[in-house]
Structure 1
């Protein structure tokens, strides 16, 4: 336990975590976008990432002959988009894409332009995905809905939606959007994000809020993706027996050290002690005991390699997000010489940890 605590204020003495970060990159929460060219897939990515069309267009990398992947953010990614670009083309054979993407994606989004009734390529691809029984989380996004009258829009949306329901053989969630509203906004943006977060929860955490109650929360949003990157590394490394016992505290230590530097706060034992002290006198002890117990559970045959490992990974994601959130709050006020409320720190940690645990649950079930 004392070695675990020591990791926090001696990050330079931690082991090399390159393998943990590499494993995370191979297992990112992944959203598969299925739709014809021009349906609005790139616009959907822009809406989630808040990037420009140029940034998104230049960020795609080939995955198969006709599919591409986009990692966001590219340097320290926390999620991945997969795009099948050949649908509707005469010489497109979806077999390679379907086989590969079905094994790596966690949720599927079908993007259908409202005035495009010819969707046979999408429907045929969906039939093959359904037979694979690998993807269970599905959302249909109907785009460019403001180009039609309300009555015509309802008819067209219902027509395309029924095609998907006939294949999926169950209730299919959908949302109507338009990425080019007259006022420059995205029509139905909030509902779109809510629907996407229901099939890939990390989206709810990573999307920047439109409004902020304080400058501190605005500042945290600038660092949120970095915190989530550390969360992903901690979570994926904690899927294996014994590994997380060393790697999770090391990853959290590096995160705290990095965040302190960005707020221009010198990272030291004194700062660490004060930060942990605001979370309650028993926090460090409970952290060490609970973390060690989670590792022991993973050694239990069958249970440990399934339920135990997944639970440990979710808790590591949540605790890392909680620590990152309160650390930013603490460093922000400390850098300004302001008083820090222990009650606010503790409440903020509990709320952030719950939010982080929910965001980690992206596996198809």
Structure 2
């Protein structure tokens, strides 16, 4: 039985290298995992030019051009952006357009998005009080699901006090903590009155490009993240929190792109590892990790064959299949195996991705990667990732 599973895992790993082929059942299995993975889904709702793409850029660190190209149509008036990749999404953004025009009907978007979205982010420029179309659409969406949190994000604060820096410290995190510009306060109150009964909290922000000269170009951005964490369901908070914690460590351009890829596949691997069925992720986990490494190789402009993959894995002393087999035995222990399997699957996938990034960086610098250094780095990352994945949500 185990020997058959090992052969099946190896066949899947070999098939992954051929981008024009899909191993039988693999895509369906991975799609099932994606539906089970704790991927936060944010529904962005507001007029054009109100800062929706800027919010995505702030939350993910992705380039705005990449965000624009990454959206794909869903309905006539909506689209979705899985970050960083549709194969292994870490976060997902749903965007409704056309709210500037009269006659918007939210029925199609409700049918497409209502079962997916965990939090709605409604955006409006603070000085733009003409939000009738937005309110009418939001009212219908809210009537269908009044329990889903709605965060009203007011943007472009600097337009209220031109040629001035933002007041510090940020005065909107605690009620009555600091004095607020009276014109800003008046506009906030007017928006609150206009959207009465349709939102849970207001978050004023002003995220600008560095060249615009503001001392705080991400003004209110941290408060928005904390608010999203507060209103997300418990099971989904760690995905957003870890995105912030781990991507801040990424240094160069390659790692900037590789980091979200690693986190996306890590989340997928953790879901596979949590399945309480012995020997299931013996097939899935190697396929997930192999696909991740292939994706990383493309980011670094490297050609990676199956043989080269195994050589590199061997130099790291990973023993991927052996580790998976040990984890399968742990799953036979009631109440213990699934949690341990999820943590080890996630941590080992994250560490593997980071180790391969180090390998590619060494190659780019003209060095022959040192096996001992790679192995040591892998185990450092494994220890750190294991600690992070064991933290309470």
Query: What TM-score do you get using the length of structure 1 for normalisation?
Result: 0.70
Picking from 79, 96, 100, the partner of 2:112 is 100
Distance 1:63 1:5, change over 3 A: same
Conserved 8 A contact 2:272-2:284: yes
Q: Tell me which residue corresponds to 1:177.
A: 206
Can you list the C-alpha shifts for 1:295-330, whole angstroms capped at 9, x where unaligned? x58xx9xxx9xx998996676445422332244335
Q: Deviations over 1:332-355 (max 9, x none)?
A: 458544552766543322323455
The more displaced of 230-239 and 143-152 is 230-239
Q: How many residues align?
A: 343
CA shift, 1:32, in A, is: 0.8
Pair 293,159 (structure 1): closer, same or farther in 2 beyond 3 Å? farther
1:328 aligns with 2:328: no
**Contact (CA 8 Å) 2:316, 2:375: kept in 1 or not?**
no
* Contact 1:64 1:97 survives alignment (8 Å): yes
The CA distance in 1 between the partners of 2:195 and 2:7, in whole Å, is: 52
Q: 1:44 to 1:269 in 2, by over 3 A?
A: closer
Provide closer, same or farther for how the CA distance between residues 134 and 9 of structure 1 changes in structure 2, counting only shifts above 3 A: farther
CA distance in 1, matches of 2:287, 2:12: 9
Instruction: Choose the corresponding residue for 2:198, options 167, 173, 190.
Output: 167
Q: Helix, strand or coil for the counterpart of 2:207?
A: coil
2:267 and 2:184 mapped to 1: Cα distance? 40
**Residue 268 of structure 1: how far off its partner (Å):** 5.6
The 10-residue stretch of structure 1 (119-128 or 5-14) with the greater mean CA deviation from structure 2: 5-14
1:222 is matched with 257
- SS at 1:92 equivalent: coil
SS at match of 2:373: coil
Q: Please give the alpha-carbon distance, in whole angstroms, between the structure 1 residues aligned to 2:47 and 2:103.
A: 14
Q: Assess, with a 3 A threshold, how the Cα gap between structure 1 residues 345 and 164 changes in structure 2: closer, same or farther.
A: farther
**Alpha-carbon distance between aligned partners in 2 of 1:36 and 1:214, rounded to the nearest angstrom:** 34
What are the superposed Cα offsets for residues 126-180 of structure 1, whole Å, 9 maximum, x if unpaired?
Answer: 4444444486454332211111124322332344356557434x5x362412335
Shift of the alpha carbon at 1:115?
Answer: 0.6
1:11 pairs with 2:13: yes
Q: Could you tell me how far apart the structure 2 residues matched to 1:81 and 1:95 are?
A: 19
Determine helix, strand or coil for the equivalent of 1:252: helix
Alignment of 1:208-357 (within 5 A): 219-235=254-270, 242=277, 243-256=280-293, 259=296, 262=300, 267=308, 269=310, 271-276=312-317, 287-294=324-331, 316-329=345-358, 332=361, 336-338=368-370, 340=373, 345-355=378-388
Structure 2 partner of 1:191: 222
1:8-47 alignment runs, 5 A limit: 11-12=13-14, 15-16=23-24, 17-23=26-32, 29-47=40-58
Q: Higher RCO, 1 or 2 (CA under 8 Å, sep at least 6)?
A: 1
Instruction: Write the distance in 1 (CA, Å) between the matches of 2:250 and 2:261.
Output: 21
Q: Give the TM-score normalised by the residue count of structure 2.
A: 0.66
Task: Give the root-mean-square deviation of aligned CA atoms.
Answer: 4.6
Structure 1 residue 67, shift from structure 2 partner: 1.8
Q: Does the 8 Å CA contact 2:330/2:337 hold for their aligned counterparts?
A: no
Out of 68, 72, 82, the residue aligned to residue 79 of structure 2 is 68
Q: Which moved more, 1:204-213 or 1:145-154?
A: 204-213
CA contact (8 A) 1:5 1:288 kept: no
Matches of 1:292 and 1:59, distance apart in 2: 40
Q: Residue 130 of structure 2 corresponds to which residue in structure 1? A: 118
- Alpha-carbon distance in structure 2 between the residues aligned to 1:73 and 1:160: 33
Distance 1:117 1:258 in 2: 45
Please tell me whether the aligned partners of residues 273 and 345 of structure 2 are also in contact (alpha carbons under 8 angstroms): yes
Q: Quick one: distance in 1 between partners of 2:146 and 2:345?
A: 26
